[in-house]
Amino acid sequence: MSDVRSRPAGAAFMASAAVYFTAEFVAAAAWSDPPYSYTHHFISNLGVRGPATAFGQYMYSPLAWVMNTGFFLFGVAALTGAVLLRGLPGRHRWPIVAMAALLAAGGVVLAFFPGSGDTADTATDYHGMGAFLAFIGGNVLAVLIGAAHRLLGLSRGLGRVLVAAGVVGLVSLVGYMALLESGAGILIGLVERGVVYPFLIGFALVGAALRRRPVTG
């Protein structure tokens, strides 16, 4: 159903992925002494100005503001894309918008509450809550968009890729939580990226597909 394709929605989903990956790359590149590790360090470390040590990791991100800006904007862009999707019936539209809103809320919380580990044990771990909201929202959103591929005029193959991306992200989330609980920390940065990267790549693919042809109806 190409009449429900939305070029503005596609642009927003592509922007979501582009903003996140750009912010992460720039912030990581500025963390040079010692170099930032994509496999060892938490993603959230990039939003901590530091220097500080928490959760067994050294945190020093000279461009923490770049990562925190990325956290804020990437979820908002994804929510914008979900809202701009056209032609979806309510039973498909509202779950998609709800999960995008969950992702956006998580990103905003991450931006305003960097994961520096300075939260008291008795206080609310807002950063952890934000991360969990973003993890769940982003991956379930990918699954829902994939399941609605026919309504969105997306190919069956892309729909399957999106569902698979969301499933991989959710399975990685289970592994990530297990690593946190064990305290081992082995390749925890890589596992955390297994939660985030699949749905972001899915957003980029959806955006490219939605922008391939103009809306016809």
Taking residue 43's Cβ as centre, other Cβ atoms within 10 Å add up to: 21
Range with the lowest mean pLDDT among 27-36, 45-54, 79-88?
Answer: 45-54
Instruction: Please give the pLDDT value at position 200.
Output: 98
Predicted confidence at residue 5, as pLDDT, reads 53
Q: What is the pTM of this model?
A: 0.91
Lowest-pLDDT range, 51-55, 82-86, 192-196?
A: 51-55
Q: What share of the chain is helix, strand, coil (3-state, %, to 5)?
A: 70, 5, 30
Give the per-residue pLDDT at 123: 61
Residue found under tokens 């010692």: 34
- CA–CA dist 196, 124 (Å, integer): 23
- Is the pLDDT confidence value at 129 over 60? yes
User: Highest mean pLDDT range out of 30-44, 116-130, 194-208?
Assistant: 194-208
pLDDT of residue 171: 98
Say how far residue 214 (Cα) sits from the centre of its chain: 27
pLDDT (tens digit per residue) in 161-208: 999 999 999 999 999 999 988 877 789 999 999 999 999 999 999 999
**The three-state (H, E, C) secondary structure of 108-133, written as one string:** HHHHHCCCCCCCCCCCCCHHHHHHHH
Spatial separation of the C-alpha atoms in residues 117 and 126, rounded to whole Å:
11
Place of tokens 């969301």: 166
Q: What's the pLDDT at 116? A: 66
